[in-house]
Amino acid sequence: MLTLTDRFRLLQRHRLIPLIPLAAIILVLPLLFPSAYYYRIAALVFIFSIAALGLNLLMGFAGQVSLGHAGFMGVGAYAVAIGPTRLGIAPLVAFVLGAIFSALLAFVVGRPILRLKGHYLAVATLGFGVLLTIIFTNEAKWTGGPDGMPVQQITFINWTLRRVSTWYWILAVSFLLSAVIALNLIDSPTGRALRAIHDSERAARVLGIDVAQKKLAVFVISAVYASVAGSFFALINGYVTPDVSGFLRSIELVAMVVLGGMGSIVGSFVGSAVLVVLPQGLTIFHEYEHAILGLTLMAVMIFLRRGIVPSLAAVLGGTQK
Amino acid sequence: MAEFLQFTFSGLTVGAVYALVAVGFTLIYNASDVVNFAQGEFVMLGGMVTIFLGYAGVPVPLAAVIAVLITTAVGLALYRLGIAPARDASAVTLIIITIGASIFLRGVAEIIFDKRFHSLPALFGSDPIRIGGASILPQTVVVLASALLIVCLLWAFIDRTLYGKAVIATSANRMAATLVGINTRTIVGACFAISAAIGAIAGVLVTPITLTSYNVGTLLALKGFAAVMLGGIGSAIGAVVGGVLLGLFEAFAAGYVSASYKDAVAFLVILAVLFAMPQGLFGKRTVERV
């Protein structure tokens, strides 16, 4: 028979607990927004959180790095741009097709790429991302070239999804949903296998884990996360340029994961929030944007290698997912 | 035939620069296991500092020397302030630090200099020399000759001097090198400095041909890295051969296939090499099968 405190402890340890404060913040936040501009910033935070979450599954749990993940954001973004405009596909269908295409692409390139380790893996994923960007830049007939192309808005019969506050709620729910999926995945046998791979591939293999297959699975999932984020990004901007998949964006995603904390779901949100909000606060120093971004990246990697959320958790003595 | 020769010349010129970037990469990688993505920024700094000192009235040869010295100092600072404090970090963390350094240097160049393209006067004028129906700029010959000289000097330094032996010892086993009394911090710092100097010299020499601006570094670093991968990571000869080959591939791809996909060649080469022969042309086989 469980006592009440035992039950409370079990509940405390439930995997979705970290999301409760997050959901509360998301609910209260709009009350503090003085203008639509703040909704937009928050929406961007959710979008990048989704991409960072996916990448975190790959980096934080499976221990595989990708320096080209923005490439999949590009696939998602151009899917919702090209589908409706050039092929007459409904935006929502294009959205799903983009995610499916990203998954297939990840499946095809993942097998050879994930055989590599360390520098080699970093460089191969980087090369893959840059190649996608080069394609988006050069196939001007389809993508509008370096100047990009407009993205049609989502319409239902005669209602158009335009208000940024509506986007806020859609993206908030999408983000929480992605977090729930991620947390469930981590607690599944696959999640445990991934953590085993992270600690020691050899030991994992000895235990009978199909290492290559598990790595590939998480790579595909993380690609879908990035693709979904990319589609949202294009839809909310109403425009897409090859920058969406650029090298700098991939690095930004990695920085979000590491800054928030590898392996921390809440961390991905915190990391994205910092790196999305920080440049907004620095617009007065617009000229210095790159210098500051570079310096932040270095400082984080040198002094905050464990990430904000795990460092805080260690200070507070709690355990955090 | 003339066309082929022309593509070969332009391939060799760009290839010489890739080779110098790749040699710089290899030097740092061997000494410290760091893949330095800021390598391209050294090339940018060499060119840009020379140009802007020139605008300020400093004679170009003196400006070039100062530019190389400044870049060397930047290379040393990168090691002392960026790499040394994170010594025990993972390979990927170190890569991100150097990428951060690269973005930072580019950002600073954007503020101090400007966003336009700039050039330098060529050393021996710009009347092309005609060979077999193709033309070659005198500066191209200068670039190729200097690249050859730098690589030879570097080889002599590594192979023939006591400091060079210390570099080899450090790259083979840092702990053992420390135990026999080598100050590995100094050695690795020196490798960053030399590597930065090589990059800066390449930047000064190639600017009359290719022009330069604050943002040329990233692509150069990526391509230099492709050259390293092609040659086999850690091999100095591999870096040179890889660089020249990559330059030639690019020139032929631009000439015969599509000029707009020229930049894609380097990345296709990276992926092809990694998938087909991850050890590169001259490297040791280390990949683990999954």
Question: Given this model, what pLDDT does residue B61 score?
Answer: 92
Q: pLDDT tens for residues B158-184?
A: 889 998 899 888 888 888 998 998 998
Interchain contact, A120 vs B278, CB within 8 Å: yes
- Among residues 137-196 of chain A, which lie with CB inside 8 Å of chain B? 138
Q: What is the distance between the alpha carbons of residues B240 and B154, in angstroms, rounded to a whole number?
A: 12
Q: Which residue has the tokens 């998938």?
A: B275
Share above pLDDT 70 across residues of chain A, in percent, rounded to a whole number: 94
3-state class of A157 per DSSP? coil
- Of B89, B104, B267, which has the smallest distance from its Cβ to A127's Cβ? B267
- Within 10 angstroms of residue A314's Cβ, the number of other Cβ atoms is 12
Q: Could you give the 3-state DSSP secondary structure of residue B235?
A: coil
Could you tell me which chain B residue has the CA closest to the CA of A120? B274
**Looking at the domain assignment, is residue B283 inside a domain?**
no
Total domains present in chain B: 1
Q: Contact, B287 vs A123, CB < 8 A?
A: no
Q: Is the pLDDT of residue A318 over 60?
A: no
Chain-centroid distance, C-alpha B227? 10
Q: Do A298 and B268 touch (CB under 8 A)?
A: no
Residue B289 belongs to a domain = no
Nearest to B91 among A118, A215, A248 (CB): A118
Would the CB atoms of B111 and A288 count as touching at under 8 Å?
A: yes
Say how far apart CA B18 and CA A278 lie, in whole Å: 36
Asked whether the predicted pLDDT for residue B53 surpasses 50, the reply is yes
* B34 within 8 A of B20, measured Cβ to Cβ: no
Tokens of B149: 């000289």
Question: A134 CA to chain B: closest CA distance, Å?
Answer: 7
Show the domain range for B172.
Answer: 2-276
Q: Is residue B284 part of a domain?
A: no
- A52-92 pLDDT, tens digit per residue, is 999 999 998 888 889 999 999 999 999 999 988 888 888 88
Q: Give the span between the Cα atoms of B98 and B86, in whole angstroms.
A: 11
Residue B290 lies in a domain: no
Higher pLDDT, B266 or B38: B38
Q: How many H helices and E strands in chain A?
A: 15, 4
- Which residues of chain A have a CB within 8 Å of the CB of B107? 288-294
The chain B residues in contact with chain A (CB within 8 A) are 35, 82, 85-86, 89, 91-93, 95-97, 99-108, 110-111, 218, 222, 225-226, 229, 233, 260-261, 263-264, 266-268, 270-271, 274-275, 278, 287-290
Report the residue of A119, A200, A252 to disrupt the B interface, i.e. the one with the largest count of B CBs within 10 Å: A119
Option in B105, B111, B275 nearest A112 (CB): B275
A131 Cα to chain B: minimum distance (Å)? 6
Q: Residue A255: its chain B contacts at CB < 8 A?
A: 96
In-domain check, residue B109: yes
Rounded to the nearest integer, the mean pLDDT of chain B is 88
pLDDT at A320 over 50: no
Chain A nearest CA to B201, separation (Å): 24
- Decide if A253 contacts A67 (C-beta within 8 A): no
Question: Average pLDDT for residues A281-291, to the nearest whole number?
Answer: 76
| A44 pLDDT tier (thresholds 50, 70, 90) | very high
Q: Do residue B100 and residue A247 have CB atoms under 8 angstroms apart?
A: no
Say how far apart CA A320 and CA A311 lie, in whole Å.
10
Residue B285 confidence (pLDDT): 53
Mutate to test the interface with B, among A287, A298, A304, A305 (most CBs of B within 10 A): A298
> What is chain A's length?
321
Rounded to an integer, what distance in angstroms lies between the CA atom of residue B91 and that of residue B88? 9
Q: Quick check: is B288 in a domain? A: no
Q: How many Cβ contacts (< 8 angstroms) between chains A and B?
A: 127
Q: Quick: pLDDT tens for B140-165.
A: 888 889 989 998 998 898 889 998 89
Of A127, A290, A302, the CB nearest to B107: A290
**Which A-chain residues 91-130 have CB contacts (< 8 A) with chain B?**
112-120, 122-124, 126-128, 130
For all residues of chain A together, what is the average pLDDT? 86
Instruction: For residues B242 and B234, give the distance between their C-alpha atoms in angstroms, rounded to a whole number.
Output: 12
Whether B129 shows a pLDDT value over 50: the answer reads: yes
User: A112 to chain B: which residues are within 8 Å by CB?
Assistant: 274-275
Above 50 in pLDDT, residue B208? Answer: yes
Listed by number, the residues of chain A in 235-294 with a beta carbon closer than 8 Å to a beta carbon of chain B are 247-248, 251, 254-255, 258, 287-294
- A201: chain B residues, CB-CB within 8 Å: 290
Query: Looking at per-residue confidence, does A5 or A261 come out higher?
Result: A261
CATH of the domain at B92: 1.10.3470
Considering only CB atoms, which chain B residues are within 8 Å of A289? 107
Task: Report, as an integer, the average pLDDT of B53-57.
Answer: 92
* Position A7 pLDDT exceeds 80: no
For residue B181, is it within any domain? yes
Which of A247, A293, A301 is facing B97, going by the closest CB pair? A301
**In chain A, whose CA is at the least distance from the CA of B271?**
A124
Q: Which tokens in the block code for residue A295?
A: 């310096």
| Mean pLDDT, rounded, for B272-290 | 66
CA dihedral A194, A196, A200, A203 (to 10 degrees): -120
Residue A192 is predicted with a pLDDT of: 87
A122-131, A300-309, B78-87: least confident range: A300-309
Are A251 and B103 within 8 A, CB to CB? yes
Q: How far is A248 from chain B (nearest CA, A)?
A: 9
Prediction ipTM score: 0.83
In the predicted model, what is the mean pLDDT of residues B69-77?
96
CB proximity list for A129: less than 8 A, separation 6 or greater: A66, A67, A68, A69, A70, A71, A245, A246, A247, A250
Q: pTM for the complete prediction?
A: 0.86
Distance between A309 CA and the closest CA of chain B, angstroms = 18
Residue B289: band (very low, low, confident or very high) from pLDDT cuts 50, 70, 90: very low
User: Which residues 59-78 in chain A show a CB within 8 A of chain B?
Assistant: 65, 67
The pLDDT assigned to B287 comes to: 46
pLDDT in tens, A205-237: 888 888 888 899 999 999 999 999 999 999 999
pLDDT-derived band at A2 (thresholds 50, 70, 90) equals: low
Tell me the shortest Cα–Cα distance from B28 to chain A, in angstroms. Answer: 14
On whether residue B282 sits in a domain, the answer given is no
Q: Using only C-alpha atoms, what is the Rg of chain B?
A: 19
